[in-house]
Structure 1
């Protein structure tokens, strides 16, 4: 049975005064919607309607002054999903109002037939959000203010690419917790490459120079994806790899025999077999091994490829010791299927794909490319190791065991209900390690790991300003362990711990593990609802206890099981149902206790029948305790009916009845709490006009 950990930074909690407004914020991980796929389902269902039912829908459309063609929109389970992006708010509200009135005129029997038909056709199209039949969530969305929300590309803090960079859990939670756009590290690194500053980076150049002077091998790892915006770029970016190889071979003049690369296969944020297969027009996507072979050939360095392995082993973030130990054994030459060249490598990977278990790139076991003398590649004492993957949560285990951070790994494992032996971590390799990003402060402070590009905390994070804005009132963060960093480090604006003076309660429920048959992320289909029930129970307890001003939670299942599409389609529907049921229960309890609630998502995923994140919008639903369900559009405060994730924090503060002063001295525990907002005014200060696209604004105003 899952346990929980509870940590309050300021001692015993107290009941809140009844006049203080309270709220719940639920982040459903990886739950977006696809306008294109939804439109395809609607068109298909329209063609299957009985003639009499179709005529009734057309009559209902005419009854609200709409054309027969418009009647198709009455098939959308969630009204707002029929809108085009960036619809002006007056037009959007009129459209939604017409849909509500027209649907109401149909009668229960016809509405049930329409919904059942849409669910059936959605199942044929494998469109999980509608095929799952979560009418309880659809009703909740329609009865309250629901707004399409941008969650990818420039709106997630990335470079302006075409196609846009997919949203992901890391940046999504950072944006949700920020009152302005939270720029992401890949953008900074790319700018440094463009200006040439990358090639003068002190940390990278120092570790390379030291290795060259003592004749040591330079080892590095890279997640093999991220060529374009639609091909991963969640943990790694191909232009970073290109620049690094130029730095190693051209500027520092390393011989390829002194460079060893661990290529980590993706298949989660890219297509499931994209390491060896190409996709898209002109085969412009995927084929990452082919791209790597060509890139290494530029430096006559094909032999620098030393290790190949799936990310489930080499990038575990839930601190499973077995995965970490096998990754270490691979890098030190004790484990790995030996092969001699790229052709043999492709054959081995293809064999993994064709097996009866339905394995993907991320499941590929350890493969070692033999050295010219026939030996297994291995890291040696005093070598250099450089990690080129910029996202911190999936690099901590690897850097921890390479740096000898045994106590850190044991503590992180214990926090997730996992016991580590860890004796193997006392390996004495004394590696010179550099990360392209900052993975955890302890690595630099206690283990000598250098950092190429520092990860600064976001000054506009609303939890960093909690003592200033709210004072001593408590807030609660709830997640299962596989998403603990998201509803923690990332949500706090890249802070490992709460700021001084913040009264935080943190509840972490261990995710399913070895005893449940889950030894890697690809096994979560065995428990597709994951810990949604336990997360819900924790939120309901926090609501009823009444000590927290704000309760925030993450529901992991849509993302974690969504990454196993298309193979685990039925399980993905189960995951969606589990998330929907959790949200509806939370909303019911919040309403009963007089709390506001916001439902949003960090990025899209499960709505596309692929393993990858998406660039689709997500939905943000605002359930106001002070506005009846009969008037969901009351209080809308934006001129265009399109939200951004960094509008969520200003909206939360507004629902709590707080104003937001100018951002200076963020996180200063000596600051005074914000004053309650005056009635009938914006709940937070006007953070920006539409001309200032990257400053958050409240989505609603106090009524």
Structure 2
């Protein structure tokens, strides 16, 4: 495919990914509708806009499964659909190959030979964003079938599960095996806050944490709900007599999503770890559902797949310069995930990570670091040094997860302010802009049925805006009904390449959205 001269004349492309920004109902449940961002209203009046599927099979997830940030960025960068971790593991469970997985078999054998215990460690959730209850049940089934004693060290959710769902989730597990609980705020920190990671590590290893009688767990959870609505902050709690990690045991992390497990896995396994003192443990069989980070001494059940010719690789091979920017919350997404799990930058790929605000409650700062990101984008656009700029604004997803409606309104207003600065500047500097989202969330901040705040991802389609001088006045066929999608997230990378005059590689099965546009007016 060859770009026309008018398309290629844009010279540069700015890809803006609005995290958790789907297409929702036109009512009060949708903060985007309530705010009605002026910048996007202007874009709709002058430039083509459409919608894409960003959930379920369209991004390699099971049917009706909501999308998420990791999956969305992987698909955007790859320009194709492939099985994500969730269905890949679920298929292995269904076809029986899971029981024969060598890393899992090795863990069971290690415990059997030593007469020790298997510890299953991960997020207890109704969602399937970071971990899956189906996967945990499969691990429990294999341990039970092998006659292996096991203990559960569980991270309480509060983001990808409905509020107050912890008691129901616990009832789906063997109660006698629950050894500890700790909020994901501690166990799944991604911001190098090692004091939080330390608290999760110490509850698993028995160094610290509140110790309660097993029969008191229900009252403890009820007391917690009187003070907090969000299970993310559940204090590190051990159940008396249930055991902690000891010499000769096996420990298996069952989260499949990588970035939120890197700190805890490093604390448990790295030899040269120095962020806090650790318990001296020997002969532990460490395993993980996926490869959280290259170099960690873990037996990995499902090693990473390879994705040749991602957007970043194609741009690098063409000698194009790239600039990637996001705040800490989503920095791995615009770098590693978009590059097909590649951590190292490609040649001429430059990266900036804006540190996220250190806070337990992001809803108190709904603007997050959007202004700092915009400041750097303004410099990059004006300098005209980069052929392709890729940025993520995390506000939509991060604030929607808090369940704070007013903060969600302010988050949308914040994004509108950034776009009002960037869009005219990009046009002035011969830079085409493509705005989209990785998945839905903030567009359904309140259940339209119950009126209760919601915090989970949605399966809604996501918008796409194409803003370039050569595209003014053109439209997509579905402009009048965005719930009728015209494509997939996999179409983003081929579209970026066509805007830059670069043909997509054969591995990219997505189609350029430019091919669906109306003809220019005569």
**TM-score, normalization by structure 2:** 0.91
Alignment correspondent of 1:573:
409
1:6-64 deviations in Å (ceiling 9; x for gaps): xxxxxxxxxxxx96721000000111122xx32xx3xxxxxxxxxxxxxxxxxxxxxxx
Deviation at 1:551, TM superposition (A): 0.2
Aligned positions of 1:145-160 closer than 5 A: 145-160=48-63
Deviation at 1:405, TM superposition (A): 5.0
2:344 to 497, 503, 510: 497
Change (3 A) 1:331 1:144: same
1:433 to 283, 286, 294: 286
Q: Aligned equivalents of 2:474 and 2:59: distance in 1?
A: 31
Question: Which of 1 and 2 has higher RCO (CA within 8 Å, sep 6+)?
Answer: 2
Question: Please, which runs of 5 or more residues in structure 1 have no aligned partner?
Answer: 1-17, 42-121, 226-230, 277-286, 297-301, 408-420, 664-686, 688-694
1:378-422 deviations in Å (ceiling 9; x for gaps): 212332110111000111111100003545xxxxxxxxxxxxx61
Q: Aligned equivalents of 1:647 and 1:264: distance in 2?
A: 36
The answer to whether the aligner puts 1:697 opposite 2:511 as a matched pair is yes
The answer to whether the aligner puts 1:480 opposite 2:374 as a matched pair is no
Q: What SS does the aligned partner of 2:259 have?
A: coil
CA contact (8 A) 1:603 1:614 kept: yes
CA contact (8 A) 2:118 2:151 kept: yes
Change (3 A) 1:635 1:545: farther
CA contact (8 A) 1:260 1:304 kept: yes
Deviation at 1:423, TM superposition (A): 3.9
Alignment correspondent of 1:325:
198
Q: What SS does the aligned partner of 2:387 have?
A: strand
Alignment correspondent of 1:364:
234
Q: Aligned equivalents of 1:619 and 1:569: distance in 2?
A: 21
1:124-173 deviations in Å (ceiling 9; x for gaps): xx42112224233222234221111111111121122xxx1111000010
Q: Aligned equivalents of 2:486 and 2:410: distance in 1?
A: 29
Alignment correspondent of 1:531:
369
1:457-511 deviations in Å (ceiling 9; x for gaps): 322422123333x2x2210000111211111111111111134xx2101011111
Q: Aligned equivalents of 2:371 and 2:353: distance in 1?
A: 13
Alignment correspondent of 1:33:
23
Change (3 A) 1:634 1:234: closer
Q: Aligned equivalents of 1:652 and 1:586: distance in 2?
A: 18
Q: Which structure has the larger Rg?
A: 1
Deviation at 1:359, TM superposition (A): 3.3
Alignment correspondent of 2:82:
182
Q: Aligned equivalents of 1:133 and 1:21: distance in 2?
A: 31
CA contact (8 A) 1:207 1:432 kept: yes
Change (3 A) 1:526 1:248: same
Q: Aligned equivalents of 2:314 and 2:248: distance in 1?
A: 43
Change (3 A) 1:429 1:404: farther
Question: Please, which runs of 5 or more residues in structure 2 have no aligned partner?
Answer: 1-7, 447-453
The answer to whether the aligner puts 1:238 opposite 2:170 as a matched pair is no
Aligned positions of 1:615-634 closer than 5 A: 615-628=459-472, 630-633=473-476
Alignment correspondent of 1:85:
none
Deviation at 1:579, TM superposition (A): 1.4
More deviation in 596-605 or 236-245? 236-245
Deviation at 1:334, TM superposition (A): 2.5
Q: Aligned equivalents of 1:366 and 1:425: distance in 2?
A: 17
Aligned positions of 1:95-244 closer than 5 A: 122=28, 126-160=29-63, 164-225=64-125, 231-244=126-139
Change (3 A) 1:429 1:31: farther
Alignment correspondent of 1:350:
222
The answer to whether the aligner puts 1:612 opposite 2:456 as a matched pair is yes
Alignment correspondent of 1:462:
311
1:220-265 deviations in Å (ceiling 9; x for gaps): 113112xxxxx41111122211211111110x2113xxx2211211
Q: Aligned equivalents of 1:392 and 1:623: distance in 2?
A: 34
Q: What SS does the aligned partner of 1:654 have?
A: helix
Alignment correspondent of 1:280:
none
Alignment correspondent of 1:253:
147
1:73-123 deviations in Å (ceiling 9; x for gaps): xxxxxxxxxxxxxxxxxxxxxxxxxxxxxxxxxxxxxxxxxxxxxxxxx3x
Aligned positions of 1:368-517 closer than 5 A: 368-371=238-241, 377-404=243-270, 406=272, 422-425=275-278, 427-429=280-282, 431-443=284-296, 448-468=297-317, 470=318, 472-499=319-346, 502-513=347-358
Change (3 A) 1:632 1:464: same
1:652 to 496, 507, 521: 496
Deviation at 1:368, TM superposition (A): 1.0
Change (3 A) 1:249 1:633: closer
1:311-335 deviations in Å (ceiling 9; x for gaps): 1111112221111111111112122
1:289-348 deviations in Å (ceiling 9; x for gaps): 1112xxx2xxxxx3221001211111112221111111111112122222333x522221
Q: What SS does the aligned partner of 1:598 have?
A: strand
CA contact (8 A) 2:123 2:131 kept: yes
Q: Aligned equivalents of 1:662 and 1:643: distance in 2?
A: 18
Alignment coverage as a number of residue pairs: 498
Q: Aligned equivalents of 1:406 and 1:588: distance in 2?
A: 49
More deviation in 133-142 or 504-513? 133-142
Change (3 A) 1:430 1:544: farther
CA contact (8 A) 1:303 1:371 kept: no
The answer to whether the aligner puts 1:312 opposite 2:185 as a matched pair is yes
